[in-house]
Amino acid sequence: MAEQSQYGKFRHGAVLVKGSSVRSISCNKHRHCSFGARFRKEGHGEATLHAELGAILGIERSTTQGSDVYVARINREGEARISKPCPMCEAAMRHVGVRRVYYTNEHGKIERMRL
């Protein structure tokens, strides 16, 4: 999914998984997200559509509740970079009941965050 992002140097992709099924996928986009704006702290820039938000938008709470989100970021050369969710995305995922987030760190390894 990160490869499909047209966002320039910050190419993130996210996959929402519940049980063993992929339920939703998304990549970041350079457009405003009113849902994300609810969770964006004042003075922290515009609430653009982050990959994590795209993966949970429009999905029933029965699906997001207890689900996991996998997030990856790549650079222009296709190398993994840190993709730890920002505070806005953390708050939004917690709000819809996401249980865990797996993301790439600065060394391309996977880390886990419980929400």
* Domain span holding position 58: 2-114
pLDDT value, residue 48:
81
Q: Which pTM value belongs to this model?
A: 0.89
User: pLDDT by residue (tens digit) across 28-62?
Assistant: 987 788 888 888 877 777 778 899 999 999 999 99
Contact 34, 66 (CB under 8 A): no
Domain of 63, CATH number, reads 3.40.140.10
**Total domains, the chain:** 1
Residues contacting residue 75 through CB under 8 Å, at least 6 positions apart: 9, 11, 81
Question: What is the mean pLDDT of the segment spanning 71-87?
Answer: 91
DSSP 11-64: EEEEEEEETTEEEEEEE-EEEE-HHHHTTPPTTS---EE-HHHHHHTT--HHHH
